[in-house]
Amino acid sequence: MYLRKIQRRNKDGSVVRYLQLAHNRRKDGTTQAEVLVNFGREDRLDVDGLRRLVASINRYLGDEDDAAAPLGAEAGPLTVESSRPLGAGWLLDGLWRLLGIDTALASRIGGRKFRTDIERTLFALVANRAIAPASKLAAADWAIFDQVIPGLQTLAEQHAYRAMDLLIEADTQGAVQEAVFFSAAHLLNLEVDLVFFDTTSTYFERDEADDPDGEGSSLRQYGHSKDHRKDLPQIVIGLAVTREGIPVRCWIWPGGTNDQTVITEVKDGLRDWRLGRVVTVCDTGFSSEANQAYLRRAGGHYITGIKMREGSNLADQALSRQGRYQQVRDNLRVKEVRLDGDDGRRWIICHNPAEAERDAARREDQLAAIREELGRIKAARGADARKTKAKAVKDGKRPAAPSDTPHRKAECALRDHPALGRWLKQHPTTGRLSINTAKVAAEARLDGKYLLATSDPDLSAEDVALGYKNLLEAERAFRTMKSTLDLRPVYHRLDERIRAHVLLCWLALLLIRVAERRTEWTWPKIAAELGRIHQVTLSGPAGSLQQTTRLTDTQAKLFKDCGVSLPPKMSGLKTPE
């Protein structure tokens, strides 16, 4: 006679276990288990009832002394000391070590000794950006009380700031980023023949910018805000990524920096890494003649967008060239043309039929709104004139000209509208507004089209177009940094802390991009699934240990796909001295 456990799996993947009292009996030459009593589900078991049963059996057997103490009394009851999420942090730590970031930081920080583990502190800050972004003070509490960070015993706010300072000291000329990227590139077998570069801005919660020549930060300055917060000082961030979206390197400049002035620094920084033959892909904001010439230095090449509006001579030439479009995909056609003064450059016109329809529909909606507003203003002007005339007739006076001030204000507001004003022209004599039909016709020629220039003689027109479309990976990286990683707003005051904050976000972006690429899941979905894995600390008179909650098949597969070992079922066993 013995206690037997059986289990069954539900449709949702959960496992339910049952406890039975059984004994074996022989039937037809085979031994079969016969169930005598079903005690029910293990998680709903009447443990005290079992203890009473054991005690009564022991009394019958004459073992009253052993039965006097309840089951497990020798060791005493176990107490749950804490329960903290483990899964997402364990995955990030596994990728952190797999990519060699721990060794890269150790080699750059040097052999200096500190009371705290700088590498573990930096990992905790990076994991915080990926899982639950917060301030450095909140991150220190989070890493100790709200999340399991493998290998981290203690963390205070001053430790976090000290680690950030050391990170920036070690990243002179991008040394840490270089070591980390080449380790990741070797592990993931990344292709770095195309490097996509773009910039964005992020703002500070502060009303005034710093004086560049003063004692404050030289980075926080006013400029063109891509976050639509021109009322706040900001910094400009540059980011280079591979075609797979893996970040290569980041740069930080003062908030008033113009995009056209940063390409030389980007080119020189990547050239020192000796990446080999690299084609730099950037958008129209970096397409000046000087930048294109600089990108071709030392055998480099570029793919860049060219502005087709604002009266561009290149756009007029390209559109006037005859030729047949080549179908690349359902939503993309390309045509290579030759322009005057090519100077080794190639020109490709890209046409997106679906986008052309959207451009036409958007323009027609705006023109309809303009016609409606102009009609309303004209009707209001006529109504005012009739009222003035009727009042003059009633009073027996000569009609005076009605006031035109309200209508002029309405027209001025329409002319200054950020979206509608571009379609209007003002009559030189009357000052009245009307739709600029020439502008409408010129814009209609550009529906769904964009112009690319490249210096690479070997890439096909199709490869150039598809390569430029992958520039969306840089934009997606910025969206992830600003939303998932909470890059903004920034509250740091010192330049070194500002740079360290951005670099921590860069490291977090690298980890989650690798996780997404290996699992084909989005990071929020990965973090939510693995966040259900907890590490429970149990303690009793015999000591304490940590036990990991049971993993589902889905959770185990996420670790396996990322090449990270599963969390241990039990760890941290401590016994009294």
Q: What is the pLDDT of residues 303-315, one digit of tens each?
A: 998 888 765 677 7
Spatial distance between the Cα atoms of 231 and 469, rounded to a whole number of angstroms: 32
Return the DSSP state at 146.
Answer: I
Q: Which of 86, 13, 87, 12 is nearest to 519 (CA)?
A: 87
Band (400; pLDDT cuts 50, 70, 90):
low
In the structure, what pLDDT confidence band is assigned to residue 532 with cuts at 50, 70 and 90? very high
State whether the Cα torsion 313-315-318-321 is positive or negative.
Answer: negative
Query: At 113, is the pLDDT very low, low, confident or very high (cuts 50, 70, 90)?
Result: low
Terminal C-alpha separation, the chain: 40
Mean pLDDT of 528-541: 92
Where in the chain are the domains?
2-74, 284-348+452-470, 355-444
By C-alpha distance, which of 446, 421, 534 is closest to 146? 534
Per-chain mean pLDDT for the chain: 85
Q: Is the pLDDT of residue 127 over 90?
A: yes
pLDDT at 488 (0 to 100): 84
User: What are the start-end ranges of the H helices in 483-552?
Assistant: 495-519, 523-530
Residue 567 has pLDDT above 70, yes or no: yes
The percent of residues above 90 in pLDDT, for the chain, comes to 31
Can you give the pLDDT at residue 311? 59
- Give long-range contacts, CB 8 A cutoff, 24+ apart: 210-218: 212/254, 216/493, 217/493, 217/494, 217/495, 217/498, 218/254, 218/495
How many residues does the structure list for the chain?
577
pLDDT tens, residue by residue, 488-522? 878 888 889 999 999 999 999 999 999 999 999 99
Please report which confidence band the pLDDT of residue 69 belongs to, taking 50, 70 and 90 as the band edges: very low
